[in-house]
Amino acid sequence: MYFESIVRPEQEGRCLLDVLCKRFTYHSREEWIDRLGRGLVSINGEVADTDTVAHKNDKVLYHVENYTEPDVPTDFSIVFEDEEFLVVAKPAGTPVHHTGRIFYNTFAAIVRRATDCETATPMHRLDRDTGGLMLFAKYAETAARFQKNLDRILLRKFYLAVVEGVFPEGETRCDLPLREDPDDRLRLRMHHLEDGKECHTVFRKLGSLERDGHTYSLLEAELITGRKHQIRAHLAELGFPIVGDRLYSHDGIYYEKMARGGGLDENDYRVLGARYQMLYAYRAEIALPYWKEPRTFRSMDFPEEMKSLVDGFGLHV
């Protein structure tokens, strides 16, 4: 397996070792020194070493030894593209950035390879099991220019969520502050704690249906703030965890099982209700500076199990 990258303009004249350490943090500096010493990195077709200097647009090739990754969905659609930005529909099940086991098939890397935009940068993120619309800057310079004022271009974000049970009719606003609880056995889970970060989500019930002995509600969720796991945690705190959410439903036992490397079987998925959590970023309102008016983009490319349920609601959004 080979990883390929292009030296960015801001890295002109820097030591290749320093470039690798800063940009590809999945190896320590000592590990990069070892790999350079063993001839596993080349630049423009020539074997590199710890003294190699990088220049803008140099092609760096890294030979990865004994490398395997779990399979993830790699298909995605481009909803909009211009000279500076992309709006793309991420598949559920693919992490945006590298994880402990996935470096090559992150969604950011998939988009870069498919579009030939080697520095394409996600302007925000979605959880691994959440699919839907994402805004990418095609170039690092564009991302740097807009990242600090993202709320001025990404105006509104809407999600569809399927929960089990009968959610209250109409509109429900949840303002529960959230943070991690160090006493939770699952440290990354967010909880309602009074000293948590300010969080606001608006839920709108779109319908209910009964299927196979279960009652489901379809919700539209609008993020007012954008905290970690905000929609998932708010719905769990309200007593309506998202169908298929391994972390926030069933006390997180299925997340624990996967974290231990055991994998889930068909019976586990049957209890969860889906292979991927039924949360999808389906609509975004975006206003780029060179547009006269904001534009709204939509995607309904749900995972199959979610699509089946959403179709059952007979709803067109």
The full 3-state SS of the chain, as one line of letters, equals CEEEEECCHHHCCCEHHHHHHHHCCCCCHHHHHHHHHCCCEEECCEECCCCCECCCCCEEEEECCCCCCCCCCCCCEEEEECCCEEEEEECCCCCCCCCCCCCCCCHHHHHHHHHCCCCCEECCCCCCCCEEEEEEECCHHHHHHHHHHHHHCEEEEEEEEEEECCCCCCEEEECCCEEECCCCCCCCCEEECCCCECCCEEEEEEEEEEECCEEEEEEEEEECCCCCCHHHHHHHHCCCCECCCCCCCHHHHHHHHHHCCCCCCHHHHHHHCCCCCCEEEEEEEECCCCCCCCEEEECCCCCHHHHHHHHHCCCCC
How is domain 153-317 classified at the CATH fold level?
Pseudouridine synthase (3.30.2350)
Strands 201-211 and 214-223: antiparallel
pTM of the model: 0.81
Task: Give the per-residue pLDDT at 316.
Answer: 62
Task: Say if residue 9's pLDDT is above 80.
Answer: yes
Per-residue model confidence (pLDDT) at position 10: 87
CA distance 68 to 102: 9
Fold agreement (2-63, 153-317): no
Q: Which of 127, 212, 265, 311 is catalytic?
A: 127
Predicted pLDDT at 104: 75
What pLDDT does 8 receive? 85
296 HSE (CA, 13 A, CB side): 7
Measured CA to CA, the distance from residue 250 to residue 277 in angstroms comes to 13
For residue range 62-86, list pLDDT tens digits in order: 887 776 677 788 999 999 999 999 9
- Cβ atoms < 10 Å from Cβ of 149: 10
Lowest mean pLDDT among 16-30, 74-88, 116-130, 212-226: 16-30
| Cβ partners under 8 Å of residue 209, min gap 6 | 215, 216, 218, 309, 312, 313
Residue 103 backbone zone (phi > 0: left; psi -120 to 50: alpha; other: beta): alpha
Domain ranges within the chain, ordered by starting residue: 2-63, 69-150, 153-317
CATH number of this structure's domain 69-150, picked from the four choices 1.10.580.10, 3.30.460.80, 1.10.490.10, 3.30.2350.10: 3.30.2350.10
Q: What is the pLDDT of residues 79-115, one digit of tens each?
A: 999 999 999 999 999 989 877 667 778 999 899 989 9
Fold of the domain spanning 2-63: 3.10.290
127 annotated active-site:
yes
Length, in residues, of the chain:
317
Q: CA 197, 201, 207: angle at the middle one, nearest 5?
A: 155
Long-range contacts (CB closer than 8 Å, 24 or more residues apart) made by 71-75: 72/102, 72/105, 74/105, 74/110
Neighbours of 187 (CB within 10 A): 9
Report residue 297 as tokens. Answer: 């983009």
Inform me whether the pLDDT recorded for 144 exceeds 80. yes
In sequence order, the β-bridge partners of residue 6 are: 59
How crowded is the C-beta side of 82, counted as CA atoms within 13 Å?
8
Tokens encoding 31? 């590990």
Task: Return the ∠ at Cα 272 (arms to 101 and 205), rounded to 5°.
Answer: 110
Given this model, what pLDDT does residue 71 score? 78
In this predicted model, what pLDDT tens digit does every residue of 25-64 receive, in sequence order? 777 899 999 999 999 999 999 999 999 999 998 999 888 7
What distance in Å separates the CA atoms of residue 288 and residue 85, rounded to the nearest whole number? 9
Q: Please give the structure tokens belonging to residue 179.
A: 């943070």
